[in-house]
Structure 1
Amino acid sequence: MKQHTVADSPYGDLTLVAEDGVLCGLYMTEHRHRPLEETFGARVTADEGPFPAVVEQLEAYFAGELREFDLPLRMNGTAFQRSVWERLLAIPYGETRSYGQLAAELGSPGASRAVGLANGRNPVSIIVPCHRVIGAGGSLTGYGGGLERKQRLLEFERSGAGAAEPSAAGVLF
Protein backbone atom coordinates (compact mmCIF):
# COMPACT_ATOMS: atom_id res chain seq x y z
CA MET A 1 0.00 0.00 0.00
CA LYS A 2 1.35 3.42 -0.96
CA GLN A 3 0.69 6.79 0.63
CA HIS A 4 2.26 10.21 0.34
CA THR A 5 2.52 13.61 1.95
CA VAL A 6 4.04 16.97 1.07
CA ALA A 7 6.63 18.63 3.30
CA ASP A 8 8.02 22.14 3.11
CA SER A 9 11.78 22.68 2.72
CA PRO A 10 14.20 25.50 1.89
CA TYR A 11 14.29 24.00 -1.62
CA GLY A 12 10.54 23.98 -2.17
CA ASP A 13 7.87 21.41 -1.46
CA LEU A 14 9.04 17.81 -1.15
CA THR A 15 6.66 14.98 -1.94
CA LEU A 16 7.38 12.00 0.30
CA VAL A 17 6.10 8.58 -0.80
CA ALA A 18 5.95 5.44 1.34
CA GLU A 19 5.20 1.86 0.39
CA ASP A 20 4.05 -0.45 3.19
CA GLY A 21 5.25 2.10 5.73
CA VAL A 22 8.77 2.50 4.27
CA LEU A 23 9.96 5.61 2.43
CA CYS A 24 10.39 4.86 -1.29
CA GLY A 25 10.26 8.32 -2.85
CA LEU A 26 11.27 11.92 -2.23
CA TYR A 27 10.55 14.23 -5.14
CA MET A 28 10.96 17.97 -5.57
CA THR A 29 8.57 20.15 -7.51
CA GLU A 30 9.35 19.93 -11.21
CA HIS A 31 11.54 16.87 -10.57
CA ARG A 32 12.71 15.51 -13.90
CA HIS A 33 11.81 11.83 -13.35
CA ARG A 34 8.92 12.39 -10.96
CA PRO A 35 6.33 9.64 -11.33
CA LEU A 36 2.70 10.54 -11.91
CA GLU A 37 0.99 11.66 -8.71
CA GLU A 38 -1.70 9.01 -9.05
CA THR A 39 1.01 6.37 -8.42
CA PHE A 40 1.80 7.87 -4.97
CA GLY A 41 -1.26 6.44 -3.22
CA ALA A 42 -3.51 8.29 -0.81
CA ARG A 43 -2.39 11.66 0.51
CA VAL A 44 -2.03 11.77 4.28
CA THR A 45 -0.77 14.35 6.74
CA ALA A 46 2.92 14.57 7.58
CA ASP A 47 2.23 13.21 11.07
CA GLU A 48 0.96 9.85 9.77
CA GLY A 49 2.77 6.63 8.84
CA PRO A 50 6.56 6.85 8.47
CA PHE A 51 6.47 10.54 7.65
CA PRO A 52 7.05 12.12 11.10
CA ALA A 53 10.54 10.56 11.32
CA VAL A 54 11.33 11.55 7.73
CA VAL A 55 10.21 15.15 8.26
CA GLU A 56 12.10 15.35 11.57
CA GLN A 57 15.34 14.20 9.94
CA LEU A 58 14.87 16.47 6.92
CA GLU A 59 14.33 19.44 9.24
CA ALA A 60 17.50 18.52 11.19
CA TYR A 61 19.46 18.21 7.93
CA PHE A 62 18.27 21.61 6.67
CA ALA A 63 19.07 23.14 10.08
CA GLY A 64 22.64 21.85 9.75
CA GLU A 65 22.25 19.41 12.62
CA LEU A 66 22.27 16.12 10.66
CA ARG A 67 24.82 14.91 8.14
CA GLU A 68 23.52 11.42 7.41
CA PHE A 69 19.99 10.11 7.48
CA ASP A 70 19.00 7.08 9.52
CA LEU A 71 15.79 5.95 7.86
CA PRO A 72 14.65 2.67 6.38
CA LEU A 73 14.33 3.06 2.62
CA ARG A 74 12.84 0.92 -0.11
CA MET A 75 14.73 1.64 -3.31
CA ASN A 76 12.97 0.04 -6.27
CA GLY A 77 15.16 -0.24 -9.36
CA THR A 78 17.39 -2.54 -11.38
CA ALA A 79 20.35 -4.28 -9.76
CA PHE A 80 22.73 -1.79 -11.40
CA GLN A 81 20.68 1.21 -10.25
CA ARG A 82 20.59 -0.12 -6.69
CA SER A 83 24.39 -0.62 -6.74
CA VAL A 84 24.84 3.02 -7.83
CA TRP A 85 22.44 4.24 -5.13
CA GLU A 86 24.34 2.26 -2.50
CA ARG A 87 27.55 4.04 -3.61
CA LEU A 88 25.77 7.41 -3.28
CA LEU A 89 25.15 6.65 0.39
CA ALA A 90 28.91 6.22 0.86
CA ILE A 91 29.77 9.75 -0.37
CA PRO A 92 30.51 11.76 2.78
CA TYR A 93 28.59 14.91 3.61
CA GLY A 94 30.13 17.95 1.95
CA GLU A 95 32.15 15.89 -0.54
CA THR A 96 31.57 15.02 -4.18
CA ARG A 97 32.44 12.22 -6.56
CA SER A 98 32.44 12.23 -10.34
CA TYR A 99 30.38 9.84 -12.42
CA GLY A 100 33.67 8.30 -13.57
CA GLN A 101 34.85 7.78 -10.00
CA LEU A 102 31.62 6.01 -9.11
CA ALA A 103 31.88 3.84 -12.22
CA ALA A 104 35.44 2.86 -11.25
CA GLU A 105 34.31 2.10 -7.67
CA LEU A 106 31.68 -0.22 -9.15
CA GLY A 107 34.35 -2.03 -11.17
CA SER A 108 33.15 -0.62 -14.50
CA PRO A 109 35.40 2.35 -15.30
CA GLY A 110 33.80 2.85 -18.73
CA ALA A 111 30.27 3.05 -17.35
CA SER A 112 30.15 6.70 -16.28
CA ARG A 113 27.19 7.41 -18.57
CA ALA A 114 25.26 4.45 -17.13
CA VAL A 115 26.11 5.69 -13.63
CA GLY A 116 24.73 9.09 -14.61
CA LEU A 117 21.49 7.57 -15.86
CA ALA A 118 21.09 5.53 -12.66
CA ASN A 119 21.92 8.58 -10.56
CA GLY A 120 19.21 10.53 -12.37
CA ARG A 121 16.64 7.85 -11.51
CA ASN A 122 17.36 7.96 -7.77
CA PRO A 123 13.86 7.89 -6.25
CA VAL A 124 14.88 9.32 -2.85
CA SER A 125 16.78 12.51 -3.58
CA ILE A 126 18.54 14.43 -0.81
CA ILE A 127 18.42 11.45 1.57
CA VAL A 128 20.28 9.34 -1.01
CA PRO A 129 22.62 12.18 -1.98
CA CYS A 130 22.68 12.15 -5.77
CA HIS A 131 23.42 15.89 -5.62
CA ARG A 132 26.97 14.96 -4.54
CA VAL A 133 27.80 13.57 -8.00
CA ILE A 134 29.45 15.95 -10.45
CA GLY A 135 30.98 15.84 -13.90
CA ALA A 136 34.64 15.31 -14.69
CA GLY A 137 36.68 18.34 -13.76
CA GLY A 138 34.16 19.46 -11.15
CA SER A 139 31.43 20.68 -13.51
CA LEU A 140 27.83 20.62 -12.36
CA THR A 141 25.82 18.34 -14.56
CA GLY A 142 22.25 17.09 -14.53
CA TYR A 143 20.14 16.89 -11.41
CA GLY A 144 16.53 15.76 -11.25
CA GLY A 145 15.64 18.72 -9.05
CA GLY A 146 17.43 21.22 -11.29
CA LEU A 147 20.99 22.51 -11.36
CA GLU A 148 20.19 25.52 -9.18
CA ARG A 149 19.00 23.23 -6.37
CA LYS A 150 22.03 20.98 -6.83
CA GLN A 151 24.36 23.96 -6.52
CA ARG A 152 22.51 25.24 -3.44
CA LEU A 153 22.65 21.81 -1.75
CA LEU A 154 26.38 21.47 -2.44
CA GLU A 155 27.06 24.99 -1.16
CA PHE A 156 24.97 24.30 1.94
CA GLU A 157 26.95 21.14 2.72
CA ARG A 158 30.33 22.69 1.90
CA SER A 159 29.61 25.63 4.19
CA GLY A 160 30.00 23.23 7.10
CA ALA A 161 26.47 23.92 8.25
CA GLY A 162 26.09 20.37 9.55
CA ALA A 163 27.75 19.54 12.85
CA ALA A 164 26.18 16.26 13.91
CA GLU A 165 28.02 12.98 13.89
CA PRO A 166 27.02 10.70 11.01
CA SER A 167 24.84 7.65 11.56
CA ALA A 168 24.02 4.64 9.42
CA ALA A 169 21.12 4.62 6.98
CA GLY A 170 18.95 1.51 6.85
CA VAL A 171 18.32 0.71 3.20
CA LEU A 172 16.16 -2.16 1.98
CA PHE A 173 17.33 -3.04 -1.53
Structure 2
Amino acid sequence: MDLLDRVLFLFKQKDWREVLELNKVECEVVTRKLLWVWPSESNLKLIKNTVNEFGLNGVISIGCGCGLFEWLLQEYSGLPVIGYEVNKEWWMSKYCNPHFIELNFPSLPPTEDILDPSYALLFCYFNNGPAFRDYVNCYNGDLIFIIGPGEGAGRHTDPEPFKPEFGGSKWTLCELQEVRDTKDFIAAYVREK
Protein backbone atom coordinates (compact mmCIF):
# COMPACT_ATOMS: atom_id res chain seq x y z
CA MET A 1 0.00 0.00 0.00
CA ASP A 2 1.51 3.37 -0.96
CA LEU A 3 1.59 6.41 1.32
CA LEU A 4 -1.55 8.05 -0.04
CA ASP A 5 -3.52 4.81 0.30
CA ARG A 6 -2.31 4.40 3.89
CA VAL A 7 -3.21 8.00 4.74
CA LEU A 8 -6.66 7.62 3.17
CA PHE A 9 -7.27 4.37 5.06
CA LEU A 10 -6.26 5.98 8.37
CA PHE A 11 -8.27 9.11 7.53
CA LYS A 12 -11.40 7.00 7.05
CA GLN A 13 -10.67 5.35 10.41
CA LYS A 14 -10.17 8.82 11.97
CA ASP A 15 -6.80 7.56 13.19
CA TRP A 16 -4.86 10.83 13.23
CA ARG A 17 -2.20 9.44 15.59
CA GLU A 18 -1.13 6.79 13.09
CA VAL A 19 -1.05 9.40 10.32
CA LEU A 20 1.40 11.41 12.45
CA GLU A 21 3.57 8.31 12.84
CA LEU A 22 3.80 7.71 9.08
CA ASN A 23 6.38 10.45 8.65
CA LYS A 24 8.89 8.46 10.66
CA VAL A 25 9.11 5.86 7.89
CA GLU A 26 8.52 7.91 4.73
CA CYS A 27 11.02 9.94 2.73
CA GLU A 28 10.66 13.71 2.55
CA VAL A 29 10.07 13.84 -1.22
CA VAL A 30 7.04 11.56 -0.95
CA THR A 31 5.55 13.23 2.10
CA ARG A 32 5.74 16.76 0.65
CA LYS A 33 3.10 15.72 -1.89
CA LEU A 34 0.64 15.57 1.02
CA LEU A 35 2.16 17.95 3.56
CA TRP A 36 4.91 20.54 3.49
CA VAL A 37 5.39 19.92 7.18
CA TRP A 38 4.41 16.72 8.95
CA PRO A 39 3.70 17.83 12.51
CA SER A 40 4.28 16.02 15.76
CA GLU A 41 1.67 15.82 18.48
CA SER A 42 3.70 18.45 20.35
CA ASN A 43 3.37 20.81 17.36
CA LEU A 44 -0.40 20.38 17.28
CA LYS A 45 -0.53 20.92 21.05
CA LEU A 46 1.32 24.24 20.69
CA ILE A 47 -1.26 25.50 18.18
CA LYS A 48 -4.22 24.26 20.23
CA ASN A 49 -2.91 25.73 23.48
CA THR A 50 -2.11 29.09 21.87
CA VAL A 51 -5.55 29.33 20.25
CA ASN A 52 -7.17 28.43 23.59
CA GLU A 53 -4.97 30.87 25.50
CA PHE A 54 -6.28 33.70 23.35
CA GLY A 55 -9.88 32.51 23.77
CA LEU A 56 -10.36 31.95 20.05
CA ASN A 57 -12.88 29.58 18.45
CA GLY A 58 -10.78 27.92 15.75
CA VAL A 59 -8.31 28.34 12.90
CA ILE A 60 -8.61 29.63 9.35
CA SER A 61 -5.91 28.14 7.13
CA ILE A 62 -5.02 30.23 4.09
CA GLY A 63 -3.63 28.16 1.20
CA CYS A 64 -4.48 24.87 2.92
CA GLY A 65 -3.88 22.61 -0.08
CA CYS A 66 -5.54 19.23 0.39
CA GLY A 67 -6.07 20.01 4.09
CA LEU A 68 -4.24 17.07 5.65
CA PHE A 69 -2.35 19.28 8.15
CA GLU A 70 -5.63 21.01 8.99
CA TRP A 71 -7.45 17.69 9.47
CA LEU A 72 -4.72 16.51 11.84
CA LEU A 73 -5.03 19.75 13.82
CA GLN A 74 -8.82 19.51 13.91
CA GLU A 75 -8.81 15.88 15.02
CA TYR A 76 -6.16 16.44 17.68
CA SER A 77 -7.52 19.68 19.09
CA GLY A 78 -11.27 19.52 18.56
CA LEU A 79 -11.02 23.05 17.13
CA PRO A 80 -12.88 23.82 13.91
CA VAL A 81 -10.51 24.51 11.03
CA ILE A 82 -11.65 26.37 7.91
CA GLY A 83 -9.54 25.90 4.79
CA TYR A 84 -9.18 28.44 1.98
CA GLU A 85 -7.63 27.84 -1.43
CA VAL A 86 -7.62 30.03 -4.54
CA ASN A 87 -7.23 27.70 -7.50
CA LYS A 88 -10.67 26.09 -7.60
CA GLU A 89 -10.10 24.54 -11.02
CA TRP A 90 -7.07 22.59 -9.74
CA TRP A 91 -8.53 21.59 -6.37
CA MET A 92 -11.74 20.35 -7.97
CA SER A 93 -9.94 18.46 -10.77
CA LYS A 94 -9.34 14.72 -10.95
CA TYR A 95 -5.57 15.33 -10.75
CA CYS A 96 -5.35 16.83 -7.28
CA ASN A 97 -4.92 14.95 -4.02
CA PRO A 98 -8.09 13.99 -2.14
CA HIS A 99 -9.38 16.64 0.27
CA PHE A 100 -9.16 15.97 3.98
CA ILE A 101 -11.28 18.97 4.94
CA GLU A 102 -13.85 21.01 3.06
CA LEU A 103 -12.14 23.56 0.84
CA ASN A 104 -13.53 27.06 0.46
CA PHE A 105 -12.73 29.29 -2.50
CA PRO A 106 -13.09 32.97 -1.57
CA SER A 107 -13.01 35.74 -4.12
CA LEU A 108 -9.84 37.78 -4.31
CA PRO A 109 -8.71 40.11 -2.99
CA PRO A 110 -9.84 38.87 0.43
CA THR A 111 -12.45 40.75 2.41
CA GLU A 112 -13.07 41.09 6.14
CA ASP A 113 -16.23 38.97 5.99
CA ILE A 114 -14.29 35.74 5.26
CA LEU A 115 -11.81 36.23 8.13
CA ASP A 116 -13.67 35.72 11.38
CA PRO A 117 -11.70 37.62 14.07
CA SER A 118 -12.58 34.93 16.62
CA TYR A 119 -10.37 32.52 14.65
CA ALA A 120 -6.57 32.48 14.35
CA LEU A 121 -5.06 32.71 10.87
CA LEU A 122 -2.66 29.99 9.71
CA PHE A 123 -0.21 30.26 6.81
CA CYS A 124 1.67 27.00 6.24
CA TYR A 125 4.36 27.17 3.56
CA PHE A 126 2.58 30.14 2.04
CA ASN A 127 4.53 31.72 -0.79
CA ASN A 128 2.92 34.97 -1.82
CA GLY A 129 3.98 37.98 0.26
CA PRO A 130 1.54 40.48 -1.29
CA ALA A 131 -1.40 38.09 -0.81
CA PHE A 132 -0.26 37.43 2.78
CA ARG A 133 -0.36 41.16 3.49
CA ASP A 134 -3.81 41.43 1.86
CA TYR A 135 -5.12 38.77 4.26
CA VAL A 136 -3.43 40.38 7.27
CA ASN A 137 -4.88 43.79 6.35
CA CYS A 138 -8.41 42.30 6.24
CA TYR A 139 -8.01 40.35 9.49
CA ASN A 140 -9.35 41.98 12.65
CA GLY A 141 -8.27 39.15 14.96
CA ASP A 142 -5.18 38.96 17.12
CA LEU A 143 -3.33 35.70 16.36
CA ILE A 144 -1.44 34.53 13.27
CA PHE A 145 0.56 31.32 12.82
CA ILE A 146 3.27 31.16 10.16
CA ILE A 147 4.81 27.77 9.39
CA GLY A 148 7.83 27.52 7.17
CA PRO A 149 11.56 26.92 6.95
CA GLY A 150 14.15 28.37 9.27
CA GLU A 151 17.44 29.78 8.00
CA GLY A 152 19.60 27.19 6.31
CA ALA A 153 16.76 24.77 5.58
CA GLY A 154 17.21 25.12 1.82
CA ARG A 155 13.55 26.01 1.27
CA HIS A 156 11.75 29.34 0.86
CA THR A 157 8.41 30.83 1.86
CA ASP A 158 6.97 34.33 1.79
CA PRO A 159 6.36 35.14 4.57
CA GLU A 160 9.22 33.49 6.40
CA PRO A 161 8.38 32.43 9.97
CA PHE A 162 10.93 34.77 11.58
CA LYS A 163 10.96 37.67 9.12
CA PRO A 164 7.36 38.27 8.10
CA GLU A 165 6.47 41.54 6.44
CA PHE A 166 3.08 42.36 7.94
CA GLY A 167 2.58 45.65 6.13
CA GLY A 168 1.07 48.43 8.23
CA SER A 169 0.03 46.44 11.31
CA LYS A 170 2.29 45.55 14.24
CA TRP A 171 2.72 41.95 15.39
CA THR A 172 4.97 40.37 18.04
CA LEU A 173 6.32 36.83 18.12
CA CYS A 174 4.74 35.06 21.11
CA GLU A 175 5.44 31.33 20.52
CA LEU A 176 7.75 29.26 18.38
CA GLN A 177 8.57 25.61 17.98
CA GLU A 178 10.51 23.49 15.52
CA VAL A 179 8.45 20.96 13.56
CA ARG A 180 10.02 17.69 14.63
CA ASP A 181 13.72 18.12 13.73
CA THR A 182 13.15 19.40 10.20
CA LYS A 183 14.44 22.99 10.39
CA ASP A 184 10.82 24.04 9.80
CA PHE A 185 9.19 26.19 12.46
CA ILE A 186 5.79 27.23 13.77
CA ALA A 187 5.83 30.90 14.73
CA ALA A 188 2.82 32.49 16.44
CA TYR A 189 2.35 36.25 16.32
CA VAL A 190 0.01 38.38 18.41
CA ARG A 191 -1.24 41.80 17.35
CA GLU A 192 0.28 44.67 19.29
CA LYS A 193 -2.35 46.78 21.00
> TM-score w.r.t. structure 1 length?
0.27
Q: Taking CA–CA contacts closer than 8 Å with sequence separation of 6 or more, which of the two structures ends up with the larger relative contact order?
A: 1
